Amino acid sequence: MPYFDAASAAPLHPVARQALLAALDEGWADPARLYREGRRARLLLDAAREAAAEAVGCRPDELVFTPSGTRAVHSGVSGALAGRRRTGRRLVVSAVEHSSVLHAGGAHATAGGEVTEVPVGRNGAVDPDAFAAELGEGVALACLQSANHEVGTEQPVAEVAGACREAGVPLLVDAAQSLGWGPVPEGWSLLTASAHKWGGPAGVGLLAVRKGVRFAPQGPSDERESGRAPGFENLPAIVAAAASLRAVRAEAAAEGARLRGLVDRIRARVPELVPDVEVVGDPVRRLPHLVTFSCLYVDGETVLSELDREGFSVSSGSSCTSSTLTPSHVLRAMGVLSEGNVRVSLPAGTEEADVDRFLEVLPRVVASVRERLGGGGPAGGGGGERGDLVVDALGKRCPIPVIELAKVIGTVRVGGTVTVLSDDEAARLDIPAWCEMRGQLYEGESAGPGGGRAYVVRRAS
Instruction: Tell me if 208 contacts its own copies by CB under 8 A.
Output: no
What's the closest the beta carbon of residue 23 comes to its own copies, in angstroms?
10
Specify the residue, 355 or 393, whose C-beta has the smaller distance to its own copies: 355
Task: Tell me how many residues contact its own copies (CB under 8 A).
Answer: 69
Instruction: Tell me if 194 contacts its own copies by CB under 8 A.
Output: yes
What's the closest the beta carbon of residue 1 comes to its own copies, in angstroms?
7
Instruction: Tell me if 112 contacts its own copies by CB under 8 A.
Output: no
Counting Cβ atoms within 10 Å, is residue 359 exposed (0-12), middle (13-18) or buried (19+)?
Answer: middle
> Is the C-alpha dihedral spanning 181, 182, 188, 192 positive or negative?
positive
Instruction: Tell me if 220 contacts its own copies by CB under 8 A.
Output: yes
Catalytic residue among 58, 143, 295, 320: 320
Contacts of 43 (CB under 8 A, 6+ apart): none
What's the closest the beta carbon of residue 142 comes to its own copies, in angstroms?
18
Specify the residue, 155 or 192, whose C-beta has the smaller distance to its own copies: 192
Instruction: Tell me if 87 contacts its own copies by CB under 8 A.
Output: no
Please give the Cα distance from 431 to 453 (Å, whole number).
Answer: 12
Beta bridge partners, 458, equal 417, 441
Please give the Cα distance from 224 to 244 (Å, whole number).
Answer: 23
Among 169, 320, 333, 348, binds its own copies (CB under 8 A): 320
Instruction: Tell me if 349 contacts its own copies by CB under 8 A.
Output: no
Q: Map residues 234-273 to x or -, x wherever contact with its own copies holds by CB under 8 A.
A: xxxx------------------------------------
Residues in region 15-74 near its own copies by CB under 8 A: 17, 20-21, 24-25, 28-30, 32-38, 67-71, 74
3-state secondary structure of 171: strand
Vertex 210 angle, CA 206 and 213, to 5°: 120
Q: What single string gives the DSSP state of each residue in 340-392?
A: TEEEEEPPTT--HHHHHHHHHHHHHHHHHHHHHHT--S--S-----B--EEEE
Cβ proximity of 355 and 362 under 8 Å? no
3-state secondary structure of 257: helix
Pick the stretch among 12-20, 51-59, 128-136, 291-299 that binds its own copies (CB under 8 A). 12-20
Instruction: Tell me if 203 contacts its own copies by CB under 8 A.
Output: yes
3-state secondary structure of 219: coil
Burial string for 367-395 (b: 16+ CB within 10 Å, else e) reads: eebbeeeebbeebeeeebeeeebebbbbe
Among 54, 127, 301, 436, binds its own copies (CB under 8 A): 301
Q: Half-sphere exposure of residue 314, counting CA atoms within 13 Å on the CB side?
A: 32
Which residues are part of the catalytic machinery?
320
> Binding residues for its own copies, per CB under 8 A?
1, 3, 5, 8-12, 17, 20-21, 24-25, 28-30, 32-38, 67-71, 74, 78, 99-100, 103-104, 106-107, 194, 196, 201-203, 205, 218-223, 230-237, 301, 304-305, 307-308, 312-315, 320-323
